[in-house]
Amino acid sequence: MTNELAEVTEETPANTPSNLTGAEKSAVLLMSLGEDDAAQVLKHMGPKEVKKIGMAMAELTNVQRETVIKVLDGFLDVVEDQTGIGIGSEDYIRNTLRAALGDRADSMVDSILLGANTKGLDTLKWMDAKSVADVIQYEHPQIQSIVLAYLDSDHAAEILSYLPEKNRLDLTLRICALDSVQPAALQELNDIMEAQFSGAAGSKAANIGGIKTAADIMNFLDTAVESHLIESVKEVDEDLGQNIQDLMFVFDNLIDVDDRGIQTLLREISTDTLILSLKGADNDVGDKIFKNMSKRAAELMKDDLDAMGPVKLSDVESAQKEILTVARRLAESGEITLGGSGEEMV
């Protein structure tokens, strides 16, 4: 079922009435399946996916039957009497997540994040960035750097933004210097986490950290923070800073993604976000995107872009970051290949 769900999530038909994102389409599908079947699907997802789809489920209101049918087309042969989407959704979500995640459900309904059944470092994956920053803020910088390297890059970037600015350069350099963590060290770190979260810790060696990890984390930082941090690294080690920058994937690198990858990416992005991201973007990137759209859709988008007045640079950068986040997620799942200025990201 998870494969079929993935296929439905990818297929974001053009000109749908509500212009649903992939997560919103997945939410419609799950809320059409019923609590038991939806719970079975959610069991196979990680914290990021559960959070994203759970938030989309919570925000669904007044979903038109036409939209539901379009989402389910290709997944079910017949859609019958599926009503009540968006009605009593909190109880639905609570019951579904409780069936899928047990004790984690209640707190997830509140924050769509925190889980109580994970162990050691894995517990942090279910926590929001501010809470993780609070947990590790008084730990030794080497412990902080291992935690950041262990977590997903976008999560680590958000955590880093909550840590004191004066510490970010040191942590970035430590992440670059990391290669692997021995079992005993990882066990000790798990023990530190278990002091705050109950359960048994494991002792599995892990290859974490390195320049590539630092570059991945940099990709998710706010543009201003990212630029300042890169310059700070270069002041300490020019070559290291350049190596990090070479391994980063930025918006202009979308020109190197093949046409099929661009088409897959476009199915996951809202029109408003795409238009805003192209405001002031390199013309070659715009041309790459327009050529992978229908002629009519490209013309409409160009008209909207021409009609758009001045916008804040921070809003444009935020839209571009959102698109890059989706691109990296698709790359991690093997659905597209990103070709940046450095090594291939998969």
Max distance between CA atoms of the chain, in angstroms, equals 64
Q: Mind listing the pLDDT tens digit of every residue in the chain (346 residues)?
A: 444 444 444 443 433 545 677 778 888 878 777 777 777 777 777 777 787 888 888 877 777 777 777 776 635 443 344 444 444 555 666 667 666 656 555 545 544 433 333 456 777 887 888 888 888 888 888 888 888 988 888 889 999 999 998 899 999 999 998 877 766 677 777 777 766 654 333 433 456 678 888 888 888 787 778 888 989 999 999 989 888 887 887 788 888 888 999 999 998 888 889 999 998 788 888 899 999 998 898 899 888 888 888 888 888 888 888 888 888 888 877 888 875 443 333 3
What type of residue sits at position 86?
A: G
| Full residue range of the structural domain in which residue 265 is found | 251-332
> Is residue 296 in a domain?
yes
Full DSSP string of 75-138: TBS-------TTSSHHHHHHHHHHHHHGGGHHHHHHHS---SS--HHHHHHTS-HHHHHHHHTT
Looking at the domain assignment, is residue 345 inside a domain? Answer: no
Say if residue 105 is in the same domain as residue 7: yes
The reply to whether 51 and 95 lie within a common domain is: yes
CB 83 within 8 A of CB 69: no
The pair of three-digit structure tokens given for residue 229, joined into one six-digit string: 């941090």
Q: What CATH number is given to the structural domain containing 292?
A: 1.10.220.30
Domain count, the chain: 3
Report yes or no on 338 lying in a domain.
Answer: no
pLDDT for residue 160: 92
Q: What is the pLDDT of residue 159?
A: 92
Token code pair at residue 173: 């350099």
For residue 46, how many other CB atoms are within 10 A of its CB?
A: 10
Q: What is the pTM of this model?
A: 0.48
- pLDDT value of residue 98: 66
Q: What is the pLDDT of residue 169?
A: 93
Residue 54 lies in a domain: yes
Give yes or no: residues 187 and 80 share one domain: no
Do 104 and 143 sit in the same domain of this protein? no
CA distance 277 to 271: 10
* Whether 180 and 237 share a structural domain: yes
Regarding whether 239 and 256 lie in a shared domain, the answer is no
Q: What is the pLDDT of residue 106?
A: 54
Whether residue 144 is found in the same domain as residue 182:
yes
Alpha helices in 163-249 (DSSP H): 165-177, 183-194, 211-219, 223-236, 238-247
Six-digit token pair at 153? 């890059």
- Does residue 85 share a domain with residue 142? no
